[in-house]
Structure 1
C-alpha cells in the first residue's frame, strides 16, 4: 500500500524516512526515526511496533541485519509485512514478505533502504534508487524527498495518491538546537501529497533555517520596512535616518508575528531570504 525510503547522510549522520501511499495519514504509522540511532519504515499491513522495537534494538548495539532478523522471527504475520531500516552506522536492511501484494520489493545498500508494495512496477524502486544516488550533495530531507518524488513520477502506489510524510532527525538539529527532531512534515489527505510535502519543506526551511548570509538594508528597504511596521501596528511612528532602537524593537515584533525568529539578524542587517519573503507577503509599497 506504500512506497518509502529510509536514508542516512554519511556526511552529517542525519537519519530520515520519506513515505507516500494511497492511505490516510501514512505518516502516523510508517516512519520512525531517532537521532544517533537509526530510522525505520514499517508498512504493508503495518506492524507499528516494528518502529519503536527496531530503534530499541539498534540502540542496544544490534546491526540492521540482526534487527531485521529479529523482527521477522517474532511476528506471526510477517508474511504480509514489509520494512526497511538504516542504523547510525549506515548499515541497512529491507524485507518484503511473500504475501505482500504485487508489485512488491525493495533495495538496500549502505545508508539507504527503499521498499514498496502495490506499486506500478519495479520501476518505482529503480527510480527512487537513481534519484537517491544522484542527490548525494543535497541535505538529507531534500534528498529523501527527491527520491520520493521520483517514485511518485514512476507510478508510485498503483491505487493512486492520498498521503505522504517526511521525518528526519540529527543530533542537535531540532528547534533552537534543543532536540534531535528536525523535520516532521505530513500531508495526511491530499490530491498530490508529494507536491504538498515539497511546499511544506520549503516553508520549514524558511521558518527554521538560520541565515546563510546577511547584508545591510538599503535606504529604500529601510524606508519600506518602517512604513510596513507602522501599517502592521508594530509602531505608531518611526524616525527616518539610520537604524535605531525603536525600529529594532518593531522589526523584532514583526519577525515574531511572521514566525521568522530564526532568521532574525537586527542591527540594520537583514537575511535576504527573510526580506524576500516579507516583500512577497506585502508587495505594494506601504506608507
Structure 2
C-alpha cells in the first residue's frame, strides 16, 4: 500500500451533470492513484493508505442503487484496515459522503455539502478543509473545472500538505466514457499553480479537440477543419500556446522586459511561483465595478485648482 497524505475534492455540477475530482499531494503521481469516476454514477477519491478497490466497490454500489453513505459503508466493511483509509465521494445527484479513519495522519478530516466532499490528511492546519469547502460553495456560478481548481488553490493557500508539494491533478467526466479533462502535474515545486497554467492551455487546445471526438450512439465523423488546423500547428503556435511561459509573440517578461537571463527550468519555476498572483490579477481585471463606483476620469483640460488649507 502507498500512503497518500493528500487534500482533495470530489464534486458534481448540477447544471451539466459533470463529475470530477481535484487532488494535490506531496507524493508523485497522485492523479494516477486517487481519482475514480464513472459517467452518470459518481466520483470517488481514495487516499491516506490507498485502497483503490474501495473506490471500485463504492462505484459499483452507487450503480446498483445504493445511496452514497450506504455504498461507502458497504465498501469499508470489506476492508481489513478501514482505520487507515480516507475516502470522499459524490453521486450523480450531488449527494456527498466521506470517511476519515482514526489511523489517518493528523491533521485529518472531511466535510460534505451540496454537490461535494472535501477531505485531507497530514494537513498543515485543520482549517485547510474549511477553506476548500468555502471556495467550492462560493463559486457556484462557475463551471466545474474552475470550481475544482479554485478549491484546490484554496487548500494550497491554506497550507495544504504539511510535508510540502509534489503533484496535483484534475479529472472530469461528462457524458462520455472517456474523460472531458484529465490533467496531471508531477514532480513540481508548485504543482497546484502549474495545474492552473496547464488548465488554461487545455481549455483552448484540448477542450475543443475533445468536443469533436466521437460520441456514444452517434456517427464518428471527423474533427472540424478549424480544430484540425489548430492541432497541425506546433504547440507554441496554438491558442494559449506559450514560449518560456509567455504568449506567442509577446515579450518575455524576465529576459526582454526585466533583462534577467535564466535557465529554462528556473524560468518555469519562477513563473509557476507567481501564477496565483497573475491569476488573481486577471480575475480582478474581469470584474465590472461600474455599478459599485462610476469611472473616475482625469481631464487635464479642465480648470483643476488647489484646495486651500486652513
Distance 1:275 1:41 in 2: 30
CA distance 1:253–1:13, change in 2 (3 Å): closer
Pair 1:257 & 2:232 matched? yes
Pairs within 5 Å for 1:38-187: 38-172=42-176, 179-187=177-185
- Contact 1:207 1:259 (C-alpha < 8 Å) held by counterparts: no
Please tell me whether the aligned partners of residues 3 and 156 of structure 1 are also in contact (alpha carbons under 8 angstroms).
Answer: yes
1:281 equivalenced with 2:248 (yes/no): yes
Structure 1's 100 and 256: CA in aligned 2 closer, same or farther, altered over 3 A?
A: closer
2: distance between equivalents of 1:61 and 1:187? 35
Question: Does the residue aligned with 1:89 lie in a helix, a strand or coil?
Answer: coil
Task: State whether structure 2 residue 195 is matched by structure 1 residue 197.
Answer: yes
Q: Please report how far the alpha carbon of residue 8 of structure 1 lies from its aligned counterpart in structure 2 after TM superposition.
A: 0.6
Aligned to 2:40: 36
- Could you tell me which runs of 5 or more consecutive residues in structure 1 were left unpaired when the two chains were aligned: 173-178, 212-248, 261-272
Q: Verify the 8 A CA contact 2:110 2:129 in the aligned structure 1.
A: yes
Q: Does the residue aligned with 2:46 lie in a helix, a strand or coil?
A: strand
CA separation of 1:92/1:210 partners in 2, compared to 1, >3 Å: closer, same or farther? same
Distance 2:149 2:228 in 1: 33
Compared with structure 1, are the counterparts of its residues 122 and 180 closer, same or farther at alpha carbon in structure 2 (3 Å cutoff)? same
In structure 2, runs of 5+ residues without a counterpart are 210-224, 252-310
Q: Deviations over 1:145-169 (max 9, x none)?
A: 1001000000000011000110101
Give SS of 2:59's match: helix
| Map 1:8-23 → 2, pairs under 5 A | 8-23=12-27
SS in 2 for 1:181: coil
Please give the per-residue CA displacement for 1:171-194, whole angstroms capped at 9, x wherever unaligned: 14xxxxxx5410100012111000
Residue 49 of structure 1: SS of its match in structure 2? helix
C-alpha distance in 2, partners of 1:96/1:103? 11
Change (3 A) 1:99 1:252: closer
1:107–1:277 Cα change, 3 Å: same
The CA deviation string for residues 50-101 of structure 1, in whole angstroms up to 9 with x for no partner, is 2222212211111101111112211111101100000011111010001111
* TM-score, L = length of structure 1: 0.73
State the superposition RMSD in angstroms: 2.6
Task: Report the CA distance between 1:138 and its aligned residue.
Answer: 1.1
User: Deviation of residue 259 (structure 1)?
Assistant: 7.3
Q: 1:75 and 1:156, CA in 2 relative to 1: closer, same or farther beyond 3 A?
A: same
The one-character-per-residue Cα deviations of 1:121-153 (angstroms, maximum 9, x if unpaired) are: 211001001100111111101101100100000
- TM, length-normalised to structure 2: 0.68
Determine the C-alpha separation between the residues in 1 that align with 2:182 and 2:190. Answer: 18
Measure, in 1, the Cα distance between the counterparts of 2:128 and 2:201: 27
Counterparts of 1:252 and 1:143 in 2: how far apart (Å)? Answer: 26
